[in-house]
Structure 1
Amino acid sequence: MLFIRLLRWKFGLIFRCLPPAAAVFCLHISAEFFYRLVRLTPVKKMVNNNLQLLLPQKETSLLADKLLKNISYSIFEIICTPFFRATHLDLIMTVHGLEYVDQALAAGKGALLMSMHSGNYEMSGTYLGIHGYKQTAILKAPPGDPLFRFVNEGRAHFGTKLVNIMEANMYRETLKALANNEGICYLIDTGALEGRHEKISFLGHQVPVATGWLALAERSGARVVLSTSKREGRKIVLTFSPPITVDADNHEAVIRDVSRHYENFIQHHPEQWWIFLNSHEIKRMLEGK
């Protein structure tokens, strides 16, 4: 962690002293160098094996390279997050559908901003925070974990409130934030077994998916906005979808449509999904646990 903090300090100097384009160039050069090192390590083989297990019909070697490149760039973007300004984000991001977030918030009941571990999902909260949107992020982090503490510093830098489900009453804090017309940032591909969930078909396997957010959306009146993050070249492409209204009669249809939305995204962009870094999660998915 000391090395990562030294890197953040170094990039702090770079972003304070150089014009935005030059600072982002330094970020990209560093990320590219890191990627070229990582792809020579056993991590490449592990990622390739995980891709083969879940997607045996795909040519996985190139996908593994693309995934490692995306994650390498994402790591350096996360390191530099506290130093970003809107001008920096314009150089590293393209955003589509922001009007859908505005539509969801227009009713004054907040919005559930759903995403998954793809592209650089962390930059969604950074982008919204820099542009003045009030947010609360739901996360699960072991108390005192230095890596989570480091990442959370960037998350909180632009005003995002953090609710750690291991330390706080998530449901109460979430309802409070929605009543304040905030966006609730929620990663749909995590935490399924820690609360209310059901099994759905995803990429040909029966996998558990958290469903507590459905009841939350119905009770609060908050609309649900799905988003995806992918990397095209060096740029992050963040896309928001039209808001979804949840009521007592459409839970099954909503969970089906949301699952299909993300399944279609992963089928077309498997190299964007961070799950392939985690052999344990791949095994759980294959076993339906």
Structure 2
Amino acid sequence: MSEETNPQSAFWNGQSGLTWVEGQPFLDEAFSGCVPVLTAAVEASGAKRLLDIGCGTGAVSLALAEMRGMQVTGVDISEPMLSRAKERATEGCKTASFIRADAQDYPFDAGSFDHIVSRFGVMFFEDPVAAFTNIHRASANGAAMTLLAWRSPKDNPFMRAPKQAADPWLPEDAFPPPGRTGQFGWADADYVRHMLAEAGWRNVSIAPLDIDCAFPEAALSFWMERMGPVGRIVSELEAEPRKAAMQAIAEAMAEYVSGGMVRFTAAIWKVEAEKA
């Protein structure tokens, strides 16, 4: 699929990518608990050549680059987010390389990575089997893979709270039916297991993991209004329903605020696999 016809490319290179760049400081703080899970897995594997899929603004790639002797490559489809990752690498004198590409079809050198990681970057492929077949080809024999992906919306009440609160004011066709591409595209563990096996990966292990997350209350309005589809849809409503919907969202999110911080639990899957 060309970049011009790839909906994910258009999405992440437009306003959504710019929004994630703007929110990078508090987003990194919110999901900082995910990073040690990945660095520990890499340390345990003894790998030195690492690929970070959907690296975004670089939080995981830069943390891995701090580990001695690591060759870290981050890949992402978003130019705005990669530009920020490169800036952060330069600012922190970190040695990491970044590729703007879709990992689904990018011609990585065969057998060039010993460990594949991702924090919430693997649920957006248009053809997941093709993507992980390509990543399998780019991995060395015996390579490990450690991926973090969201479990279901039901398991993540914080994530679904804005939509539930604003639902009375949202258009009936505001959201497409759930699919395999998107934030919760990996909610079904059986699907993930079979998909990775079809792509050639072996010893697939999928375990639930709950991560405590927190970010400053001052960033909550940014989160509500700009970080997800609900905020974008609500912003397009007429003045009165927009005001009512935002008030309902604010009331729903208030239960997660304490001590000047927004606190919630990220219910995710830790997905591990090997290239036999």
**Common fold, TM-score beyond 0.5?**
no
Higher strand share: 2
Answer 1 or 2: higher relative contact order, Cα 8 Å, separation at least 6.
1
Structure 1 length as normaliser, TM-score? 0.36
Higher helix share: 1
